Structure 1
Amino acid sequence: MNTTFLPNRRRCLALGSSLAATLALPGLARAQAAWPSKAVRFVVPFAPGGSSEIVARTTAFELSKALGQSVYVENKPGGAGNVAMQEVARAEDQHTIILGHIGTLAVNPYIFDKLPYDPVKDFKPVSLLAKVPSLYLVRPDLPVKDLREFIAYAKKNPGRLNYGSAGNGSAGHLAMEYLKMVSDTFILHVPYRGTGPQLTDLLAGRLDAASVGAPAVMQFIKTGKLRCIATGTTQRLAQLPEVPTVAEQGFPGFEMTQWYGVLAPSNLPQAAVDKLAAACASSVKQPASTEKFNAEAAIAAGSTPAEFARFIATEQQRWKAVVARAKIKPD
């Protein structure tokens, strides 16, 4: 057998393979650029209404324009958000995303003995969308005008003050327990089943204090039905410029905000994740979005996947300590 031309044959085969791969690259690039190729399902793991609804629908409206495909919101409440998180973690259509939240990502891992999802392995962080300030409130006839006086009053009257929350492990529960931890104060916790019943008793004076997301209580603060003694933000809110932050009142570095971001199942290709992240960051900064957020005292964010991943990790460490100290368990 004549083997003179084998090296040339091998070179030809190699060149042919290389040429085929080169020709395939535009097709691959088009496939990646084509995402999304159909409508995107945006799951919200809570019941309709409240801050999550505002953030999700505002973002979805702008995302539809940025991505060139419909982005529709689907509420799927249950199990402190665990039901929706489990379903989306297993989604294989590559067109399902979910609204991540302080509870499902930074709290549930520490209050549930076993989760039906892994917040790190089952999802890819996409972008932080918005932060919703937690406000610290008291009934208007409580003899305190700011947080310093509230803490002094609580220490002078141990066991006399109580606070309400929307339930064990809720953002309001965490916010008050975080304040109790840094101020070394005891205040009795009264859990409710939802923000509505809690606010009813706070407004009626049957509760002394609470921490609630800004959108639900701004109207009551403005009309004097509730007194805001501090904000959990790092800077004062434009809507409440006269109210100092917790950090300003003796607790440097303190921050308590509810936050929302987009997560995708771990099987979504990184190119699609990056495209979605850029679209999310742009969407929440659009004038129409910021106008809606400002009306609810929400703060638009927008981030890269790496930035959101670091943010989640930091929040997990913060709330792990609070949950352990307060021995918080789900209802």
Structure 2
Amino acid sequence: MTEPHYLTRRTLLAAGAAAALPATVVHAQNAAWPSKGRTVRFIVPFVPGGTSDIVGRAVTHELTRILGTTVMVDNKAGGGGIPAMLETARAPADGYTLIQGHVGSLAVNPFIYNNPGYDVNKDFVPVTLFVKVPSLFVAHPSVPANNLQELVEYSKKNPTELNYASAGNASAGHLAMEYLKLTTGLKATHIPYRGTGPALNDLMAGRIQLFSAGTPALGTHIKKGTLRGIATGTKARLPSLPQMPTVAESGYPGFESVQWYGMLAPAGTPPDVVKRLQLACAAALKSPAVAERFAHEDAVPGGETPEQFAAFIASEQKRWKDIVAKAGIRAD
């Protein structure tokens, strides 16, 4: 897969004109699936309100239209996503139970859990990548630091003063913060929550000092000034938040951290069903509603083939295996 680049709003909206063609192809394949009136269950392994939930609901809303049957989001939070992954792995491989995978569940869990009860690479079939979302690093306004360098210096002088929240163990925010700590020497203690919503509530109340999440969850708060934007994990500054420097330009060249989300099915799901799902997702991602939303949040849409998504997961596993070992990331 080629290196992602941040597309303009105009480019993404123009792509919406092509959405009808994949949808037509979708309807032409495997007319027996999905059965009329039968609901497709899409498991999201986090509570409502976070980036993963926002992404999942945006895509499934369009899938319902494209497939002509209800695609229902089922939030199954907790346990680092392991219970949700286990439930999906054990479900019938018929295309009616799917799951949203992300960097934690697919690229990190295999290296921090000794025996989660499933094999990411054998018990699931990659369908397609949904989106890559910029990682943002923010602080409560009470923290006496206006930028990343000041934050790192403050944390080293006060190594027990800063706590950072995450949506749970091996969540994208947990991984991004640990990667930042490894790179910069930042001192902060991890406090896992059961989702972005509860973590964000405590951050806003000042009970937690630091947090990392995607643009869908944090962009508005940064623009309003209710949270202080410290840095982005992207290679270049974001069009929606031009005032926020990147980690790389803050003195740590080469740093890059993005969140990503995609669809998987249980191993053994018929290839024609997997292909139809991939084409439907590609059409959903090109629809004006989804394209406009993702462009507004500086997110890079996917939609590639199952083979390309599988190759991307493999590359991420290789990268994060090294980071996990160096940072000592573990299941708290």
Counterparts in 2 of 1:119 and 1:35: CA distance versus 1, 3 Å:
farther
Following superposition, the deviation at residue 141 of structure 1 comes to 4.7
- C-alpha distance in structure 2 between counterparts of 1:144 and 1:297, whole Å: 25
Which runs of 5 or more structure 1 residues have no equivalent in the other structure?
1-29
Following superposition, the deviation at residue 213 of structure 1 comes to 2.7
Corresponding position of 1:79: 79
- C-alpha distance in structure 1 between counterparts of 2:303 and 2:160, whole Å: 42
Q: What amino acid is the match of 1:140? A: P
SS of match in other structure, 1:164: strand
Counterparts in 2 of 1:66 and 1:207: CA distance versus 1, 3 Å:
closer
Question: Does the Cα contact within 8 Å between 2:165 and 2:208 map onto a contact in 1?
Answer: no
- Larger CA deviation: 118-127 vs 85-94: 85-94
Question: Does the Cα contact within 8 Å between 2:60 and 2:73 map onto a contact in 1?
Answer: yes
Q: What amino acid is the match of 1:307? A: Q
Counterparts in 2 of 1:163 and 1:134: CA distance versus 1, 3 Å:
farther
- C-alpha distance in structure 1 between counterparts of 2:310 and 2:212, whole Å: 26
* Counterparts of residues 78-227 of structure 1 (less than 5 Å): 78-95=78-95, 96-155=97-156, 157=157, 159=159, 161-166=161-166, 167-183=168-184, 185-194=185-194, 195-227=196-228
- C-alpha distance in structure 2 between counterparts of 1:35 and 1:238, whole Å: 44
- Larger CA deviation: 120-129 vs 174-183: 174-183
Corresponding position of 2:14: none
Q: Percent identity?
A: 50
Question: Does the Cα contact within 8 Å between 1:134 and 1:258 map onto a contact in 2?
Answer: yes
SS of match in other structure, 2:146: coil
- C-alpha distance in structure 2 between counterparts of 1:236 and 1:296, whole Å: 12
Q: What amino acid is the match of 1:258? A: Q
- C-alpha distance in structure 1 between counterparts of 2:135 and 2:60, whole Å: 24
Corresponding position of 1:266: 267
Following superposition, the deviation at residue 64 of structure 1 comes to 2.7
- C-alpha distance in structure 2 between counterparts of 1:36 and 1:52, whole Å: 26
Residues 1:57 and 2:57 aligned together: yes
- Larger CA deviation: 319-328 vs 100-109: 319-328
- CA deviations 1:227-279 (Å, max 9, x no partner) are 11211123322220221222333434422222110111121222322222122
Q: What amino acid is the match of 1:319? A: W
Question: Does the Cα contact within 8 Å between 2:93 and 2:266 map onto a contact in 1?
Answer: no
Which runs of 5 or more structure 2 residues have no equivalent in the other structure?
1-26
Counterparts in 2 of 1:142 and 1:85: CA distance versus 1, 3 Å:
closer
Corresponding position of 1:236: 237
Following superposition, the deviation at residue 287 of structure 1 comes to 0.6
- Larger CA deviation: 311-320 vs 194-203: 194-203
- C-alpha distance in structure 1 between counterparts of 2:101 and 2:177, whole Å: 22
Q: What amino acid is the match of 1:233? A: T
Question: Does the Cα contact within 8 Å between 2:54 and 2:216 map onto a contact in 1?
Answer: no
Corresponding position of 1:257: 258
Question: Does the Cα contact within 8 Å between 1:168 and 1:191 map onto a contact in 2?
Answer: no
Measured on the aligned residues, the alpha-carbon RMSD in Å equals: 2.6
- Larger CA deviation: 273-282 vs 318-327: 318-327
- C-alpha distance in structure 1 between counterparts of 2:295 and 2:215, whole Å: 11
- Larger CA deviation: 293-302 vs 220-229: 293-302
Question: Does the Cα contact within 8 Å between 1:36 and 1:67 map onto a contact in 2?
Answer: no
Following superposition, the deviation at residue 200 of structure 1 comes to 4.3
Residues 1:36 and 2:37 aligned together: no
TM-score (ref. length: structure 2)? 0.80
Q: What amino acid is the match of 2:302? A: A
TM-score (ref. length: structure 1)? 0.80
Corresponding position of 1:6: none
Decide which structure has the larger Cα Rg and report it: 1
Question: Does the Cα contact within 8 Å between 2:102 and 2:262 map onto a contact in 1?
Answer: yes
SS of match in other structure, 2:286: coil
Question: Does the Cα contact within 8 Å between 2:50 and 2:197 map onto a contact in 1?
Answer: no
Question: Does the Cα contact within 8 Å between 1:133 and 1:256 map onto a contact in 2?
Answer: yes
SS of match in other structure, 1:33: coil
Q: What amino acid is the match of 1:165? A: A
Counterparts in 2 of 1:158 and 1:48: CA distance versus 1, 3 Å:
closer
Counterparts in 2 of 1:212 and 1:130: CA distance versus 1, 3 Å:
same
- CA deviations 1:91-118 (Å, max 9, x no partner) are 2251222111122111211221101211
Residues 1:276 and 2:277 aligned together: yes
Corresponding position of 1:328: 329
Q: What amino acid is the match of 2:70? A: S
- Higher relative contact order, structure no. (Cα contacts within 8 Å, ≥ 6 residues apart): 2
SS of match in other structure, 1:323: helix
Question: Does the Cα contact within 8 Å between 1:132 and 1:297 map onto a contact in 2?
Answer: yes
**How many residues in Structure 1 have an aligned counterpart in Structure 2?**
300
